[in-house]
């Protein structure tokens, strides 16, 4: 499959997707989001892949939805096309973990895209923001919902209402990012973490992602029950037997994803 707006590579058991509209700071056109969904779904379906990394370039992860394309659309255009929902939601359906490796700007839809991933590794050059208010719109790809869950109400209000950008260390203090790393190590460190994840039992990894995401969708009792049942289910896998035997036999496990 060849793409126009993204690049894809395979590093061992890790699928790497690079947003590739550098002249527009990786502005997220409809065509780009279509390609991104196709690429992530393909890696998700590929048994040789265990985890994905999504990145941009040194200047921008993505500077938001494509303002040039959006500027002339009317209500009926975006409503009839189910703008955002139509293709952005593909990313939510990916079951394997996705790490966003963010260098430079992650603004508007770019910040929202990073938050749709399972964790964010931020370069020390990263800047996060939801500046849609300056354009006369509000965040439309989950920013008003995922940002407060990540950083709390106060900082989410500050970012969405004033359009203030936060840097990588503020993002880490607020809980938006998992790690801050030097810019020239950002993708490498994300690939290393993704390789580590890919070395584990895939069904177990999928269950962990599903269970953590459930924490944001359900009351504590329901979430705990969901976790407990998945935990019980791991005892039906060969990988649970292998993982525990390997520990007791003081050797590395050899998981078969069964």
Q: Which lies closer to ligand DAK via its Cβ, residue 52 or residue 84? A: 84
**In angstroms, what is the minimal distance from the CB of 146 to ligand DAK?**
13
Burial letters 10-24, b for 16+ CB under 10 A, else e: ebebbbbbbbbbeeb
Q: What does DSSP say about strands 119-123 and 98-102: parallel, antiparallel, or unpaired?
A: parallel
Q: Which lies closer to ligand DAK via its Cβ, residue 94 or residue 111? A: 111
Strand residue runs (E) in the chain: 6-11, 14-19, 51-55, 60-62, 98-102, 105-107, 119-123, 127-129, 166-167, 179-181
In this structure, are residues 121 and 193 in contact, taking their beta carbons and an 8 Å threshold?
A: yes
**In angstroms, what is the minimal distance from the CB of 195 to ligand DAK?**
31
Interacting residues toward ligand DAK by CB under 6 A: 24-25, 27, 63-68, 70, 78, 83-84, 105, 107-109, 131-132, 135, 137, 140-141
**In angstroms, what is the minimal distance from the CB of 108 to ligand DAK?**
2
Q: Which residue is associated with the tokens 């035997």?
A: 245
How many CB atoms are located within 10 Å of the residue 2 CB? Answer: 6
Q: Which lies closer to ligand DAK via its Cβ, residue 105 or residue 121? A: 105
Please give the positions annotated as active site. Answer: 65, 109, 112, 132
**Residue 100 three-state SS:** strand
**In angstroms, what is the minimal distance from the CB of 133 to ligand DAK?**
9
Q: Which of 107, 122, 113 is nearest to 183 (CA)?
A: 122
């Amino acid at each position: 499959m060849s793409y126009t707006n993204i690049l894809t590579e395979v590093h061992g058991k890790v699928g790497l997707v690079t947003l590739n509209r550098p002249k527009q700071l990786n502005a997220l056109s409809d065509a780009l989001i279509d390609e991104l969904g196709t690429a992530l779904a393909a890696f998700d379906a590929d048994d040789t892949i265990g985890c994905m990394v999504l990145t941009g370039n040194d200047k921008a992860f993505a500077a938001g939805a494509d303002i040039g394309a959006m500027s002339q659309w009317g209500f009926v255009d975006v409503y009839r096309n189910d703008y955002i929902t139509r293709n952005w939601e593909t990313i939510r359906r990916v079951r394997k973990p996705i790490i966003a490796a963010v260098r430079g700007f992650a603004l508007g839809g770019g910040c929202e895209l990073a938050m749709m991933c399972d964790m964010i590794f931020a370069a020390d050059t990263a800047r996060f923001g939801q500046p849609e208010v300056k354009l006369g719109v509000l965040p439309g790809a989950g920013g008003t919902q995922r940002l407060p869950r990540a950083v709390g109400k106060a900082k989410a209000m500050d970012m969405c209402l004033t359009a203030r950008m936060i840097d990588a260390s503020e993002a880490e203090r607020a809980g938006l990012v998992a790690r801050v790393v030097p810019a020239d190590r950002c993708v490498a460190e994300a690939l290393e973490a993704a390789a580590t994840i890919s070395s584990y039992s895939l069904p177990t990894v999928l269950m962990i992602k599903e269970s953590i995401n459930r924490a944001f969708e359900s009351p504590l009792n329901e979430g705990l029950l969901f976790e407990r049942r998945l935990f019980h289910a791991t005892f039906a896998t060969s990988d649970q037997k292998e993982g525990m035997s390997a520990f007791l036999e003081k050797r590395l496990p050899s998981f078969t994803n069964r």
